[in-house]
Chain A
């Protein structure tokens, strides 16, 4: 054992390695990404790791490994589980031989996601047991238990953590590689009655799953991480608190000398019913403190109904806890104070005291949504399309990635955004209803491979009229620069054949497929004008590397003698590197963030900006093949 300061996701990864995981697959997504990255970095050498092209592929790869007796881990964010749900729903009916953990990172807030969906609810729907850790150090231990559990009961299990566990850091004791459990897979054993899903098998297995999950309620009642705190001291207590995840920590830090019984639920499905009955004994009221869905609240309400218990269950459904969003220390301590103070007026008074900070109203705080980085090639691509299509009736369907940030002013180039790959389908649908609209779908390179290809085949086959714009920055940028099929390398460090986006598009049948460097402004505008006039489905690939994976070769600067202070560069581009000089009249470039992309130089009407040098795209071969 040795001590390390670890991020929750790193602790989960080291826990999986300690549990003898043999195969890890996943698709990047905040807040889950660092789990797989850490496995790749800390791989003792005998673990197969891959960034799959999407979560469905990852789930299937992991299932295959678990069929063969391997311990397998698949990682994703909560919306990634939607993509992987098809194989998972059926997999629960088939079961696994080696332990298989489905790691899903939920994002209360949401901070970096489209939805606030709760994987605990998905666990109930899919009948897959779920583990819900409360802290970084606990997550390290718990994932090892999850593997044992999965193997023992022959079912995949969810390990779902939320942002404050995934992206929290703690110093904790972890095993040395020599102490890791070693799992030797037996190999796949042919047995069609076990591995081939047919209705007959589904009927049989469904009954077995229900029986097992009923049994697991008892098993989980004995699982030590499901627990009642201060059971003896609170024997005569009339109020209880049921909580989970990081909310358990908020609760512990908010309680002082109050007399309340606390139940922490570590496995919300199957729900530890016997333990809950012990907890509820003698109580009048329970406050459920949880994030996302009211899972514990519903389970306790059900148990009270089932056993005719006269206990009032409170939480999100009764308005005592906010129904959505992330909880905070303030939300939890306020709710606890109101719940535990019998005299409502006292509580109200104290609560006001707590909230009434003595600070006067501050001046208007800066409005600071995330923006495209200075020098980001996506800005140039969006600006070229915007310029080329000026005055035309258009729709710009966006997608998931850094380029969603193209929605902000002054670019204003993202009319829709739904989920991975959806922009391509939405552009087609709008086009079928509004044939006079020029329909564009913007998709990143990683998103194209993840879920853009099927939509493009659909468009081509069904005679859509649209322009597909692939924003190829040769990495998965938003989540921290993971490789993908177009990059020619894998997470295990292999150099492999690149999958060429151009060739994929041509193979589908597209005849107009043009590749252009977006930082060449005039050529980009000219290309967009020409391609958009072609009939049917056509594609433009804007290829220029992400500024975070290349070094700037020069920085632009403004010649104050030449600058006429027209403000065009600031107004049109919204680049965070362009600011005003101390007089507030002329443009000035913040050289600490400028990458020298030259877009502003090309745009300046009086050629007052110079000195940049844009990235060379010659090495980014459009036809695929080996990475140099």
Chain B
């Protein structure tokens, strides 16, 4: 099995932890894994992405355009930004909730998040839209959006891992008091 995955969003949304969870689950199954992370200035509310490569036969930590099996988008606009990396027939899991940049709030730029979702609908066949506001409301926390998205990614069939693998990874990496919340988050998109 080999899978190329991109996680993308806005600095502070928890993409790095999600990437770590996938990597931990892959490692536990002895699947070779390489990742490249955005660390540094962009973590302060800028555009961030992680490239993950699961399986044999790759050398580069970065993935080329048109080679990605699955994009896990934490934010609509950031997902559209990464779309050129998706291969034909690849899957996209995206959170519906936009993060408005300060530049748009003060009128220096424009950002129409609904247009982003429409664009994704028009151009991605294998698309899962996660209602992040509903998830936050039902789970009582907006902080587990990353795990909600991982659950939806599982169910897209393109992650190459199963629910138990991710649950084990969560147990390894997340403090015990948040375990139940994270398990619920992982299961959220089942309904």
Binding partners A and B? yes
Residues of A within 8 A of B (CB): 3, 5, 7, 30-31, 111-112, 135-136, 164, 167-171, 246, 248-250, 252-254, 328-330, 333, 354, 357, 359-360, 362-373, 402, 405, 408-410, 478, 570-571, 574-576, 578-580, 592-593
Other-chain contact of A253, B46, B58, B77, B110 (Cβ < 8 Å): B58
Q: Do residues A167 and B62 form an inter-chain contact, with CB atoms below 8 A?
A: no
A330 to B143, CA, bound (A): 35
Q: Which residues of B contact A576 (CB under 8 A)?
A: 45, 102
A363 to B105, CA, bound (A): 18
Contact string against A for B residues 6-44, beta-carbon threshold 8 Å, 1 for contact and 0 otherwise: 000011100000000001100100001111111111111
Q: Do residues B142 and A329 form an inter-chain contact, with CB atoms below 8 A?
A: no
Q: Does B134 interact with chain A (Cβ within 8 Å)?
A: no
Q: Do residues B61 and A363 form an inter-chain contact, with CB atoms below 8 A?
A: no
Q: Do residues B123 and A360 form an inter-chain contact, with CB atoms below 8 A?
A: yes
Q: Which residues of A contact B123 (CB under 8 A)?
A: 359-360
Nearest-CB distance from B7 to chain A (Å)? 13
Q: Which residues of A contact B36 (CB under 8 A)?
A: 164, 167-169
Q: Which residues of A contact B47 (CB under 8 A)?
A: 368
In the complex with contacts A333-B64, A362-B80, A571-B106 CB distance below 8 A: yes
A284 to B65, CA, bound (A): 31
Nearest-CB distance from B113 to chain A (Å)? 8
Contact string against A for B residues 71-84, beta-carbon threshold 8 Å, 1 for contact and 0 otherwise: 00000011011011
In the complex with contacts A250-B62, A359-B123, A31-B33 CB distance below 8 A: no
Q: Does B164 interact with chain A (Cβ within 8 Å)?
A: no
A370 to B36, CA, bound (A): 19
Q: Do residues B106 and A410 form an inter-chain contact, with CB atoms below 8 A?
A: yes
In the complex with contacts A171-B27, A357-B65, A31-B112 CB distance below 8 A: no
A42 to B165, CA, bound (A): 27
* 4 extra A-B contacts, CB within 8 A, seeds A168-B37, A171-B32, A333-B64: A168-B61, A371-B45, A409-B106, A580-B105
Total interface residues on B, CB under 8 Å, equals 59
A171 to B105, CA, bound (A): 42
Q: Do residues A167 and B39 form an inter-chain contact, with CB atoms below 8 A?
A: yes
A360 to B37, CA, bound (A): 28
A571 to B47, CA, bound (A): 22
A592 to B74, CA, bound (A): 15
Q: Do residues A253 and B64 form an inter-chain contact, with CB atoms below 8 A?
A: yes
Other-chain contact of B112, A136, A364, A410 (Cβ < 8 Å): A364
Q: Which residues of A contact B78 (CB under 8 A)?
A: 366, 368
Other-chain contact of A171, B33, B81, B101, B122 (Cβ < 8 Å): B33
Q: Do residues A363 and B112 form an inter-chain contact, with CB atoms below 8 A?
A: yes
Q: Do residues A169 and B81 form an inter-chain contact, with CB atoms below 8 A?
A: no
Q: Do residues B27 and A365 form an inter-chain contact, with CB atoms below 8 A?
A: no
Q: Which residues of A contact B103 (CB under 8 A)?
A: 366-369, 408-409
When A and B form their complex, which 8 residue pairs have the shortest distance between CB atoms, in order from nearest? A329-B64, A112-B40, A370-B46, A30-B40, A367-B109, A370-B44, A168-B61, A249-B59
Q: Do residues A368 and B142 form an inter-chain contact, with CB atoms below 8 A?
A: no
A369 to B42, CA, bound (A): 7
A56 to B163, CA, bound (A): 50
A579 to B112, CA, bound (A): 14
Q: Which residues of B contact A410 (CB under 8 A)?
A: 106
User: B43, B101, B106, B142: which has the most chain A beta carbons within 10 Å?
Assistant: B106
Q: Do residues B65 and A574 form an inter-chain contact, with CB atoms below 8 A?
A: no
User: A360, A366, A402: which has the most chain B beta carbons within 10 Å?
Assistant: A366
Q: Which residues of A contact B104 (CB under 8 A)?
A: 366-367
Smallest CB gap from B63: residue in A: A329
A to B CB contacts below 8 Å, 19 in the list: A30-B39, A111-B38, A111-B41, A112-B42, A169-B36, A170-B61, A246-B60, A252-B60, A359-B83, A362-B80, A362-B119, A364-B109, A364-B111, A366-B100, A367-B104, A368-B47, A368-B78, A410-B106, A574-B105
